[in-house]
Amino acid sequence: ACINAFFLCVSLFRLKDLEVAKLGDSDVHVKMLAAPINPADINMIQGTYAILPPLPAVGGNEGVGEVLEVGRHVAALKPGDWVIPADAGLGTWRTRGVFPEKVLLKVPSDIPVLCAATLSINPCTAFRMLTDFETLAPGDSVIQNAANSGVGQAVIQIAKASGIKTINVVRDRPDLPKLVERLMALGADHVVTEEMLRKPEMKDIFKSIPKPRLALNCVGGKSTTEMLRHLQPKGTMVTYGGMAKQPVMVPVGSFIFRDVRLRGFWMTQWRKDHAQDQESLTSMMDALCQLMRTGQLRAPACTEVPLQDYGAALEAAMKPFTSSKQILLL
């Protein structure tokens, strides 16, 4: 049998027919259902990501598939189960694949397919950053930039479900009112532009909610500096992306007089560090899937694209001010 796979070669992309690998005793034959195009996927293609597969390679780090067949030594999975990658680099932009059981995680099939396809990176990143750096209680607040990103949307919803207030920073754009309306509908408490961070009106926000103890940075550059002004003394800023491709700039006074803490986060590293800690992984996945079941955590705004139209999807994913994630239907 042949499959379609979106291959990454040194200087071009192409859709190629491949033979399905023979099923080994510990292998799982998976029919892929849907897979997103994430910024990390683009970075891998550009050769700028921290982990790069040997070329040629199948693209895609995230997605959901249905188990078709399992090897005789596979105990935890059966045909009909839904699975997602246990780690980055699986190569999800394909119609089918044969993978070792250990590189797959079972997920419930009673959550929406787009939620499952986008579960393993952005919601997990949001969950860990809200959990691991500061002990937040209902009524506390968090400030984040790139609030319309996949992680940003997940932060808003997970925080809302926990009673935590969010101050959400976005870049100014032509359709700003529409974006503000969409983020507020997700549960955002405040949505401001990067320019508004510098204005005296920010003080009005903190009349009704406390200053944040946690800031989440996906941009870098001036956006970081302006967010730090509103962080509580001894607060923590976690950097998990660098969309502006500029360094994190921190005034000396923020360190000396306010003792702010700067940390970094990478979901791939968290998975490596917790490879022997199944309980932490299981409890996180259970919590996220339960939020999805109850409608408290929805997939990010998505545009569904057939695999054959991968070129248009890639082009759309790289456009500025993109608020809709491209999802390849496989």
Q: Are 26 and 73 in contact (CB under 8 A)?
A: yes
Strands 325-329 and 302-306: parallel
Q: Distance between CA 187 and CA 316 in Å, rounded? A: 26
Give the SS3 label for residue 104: strand
Q: Distance between CA 105 and CA 180 in Å, rounded? A: 35
Q: Active-site residue among 6, 7, 49, 127?
A: 49
Q: Where are the beta strands (DSSP E) in the chain?
A: 2-8, 13-19, 27-36, 57-58, 64-70, 82-85, 96-100, 104-107, 141-144, 165-170, 190-193, 214-217, 236-239, 261-264, 302-306, 325-329
Strands 261-264 and 236-239: parallel
Structure tokens at 240: 């998990």
What residue has token string 């695999």?
A: 307
Closest CA to 130 of 322, 304, 265: 265
- Amino acid identity of residue 124, one-letter, is C
First to last CA, the chain: 16
Q: Distance between CA 121 and CA 135 in Å, rounded? A: 22
- Amino acid identity of residue 109, one-letter, is S
- Is 49 annotated in the active site? yes
The C-alpha torsion from 147 through 191 and 246 to 322, rounded to 10°, is 50
Enzyme catalytic residues = 49
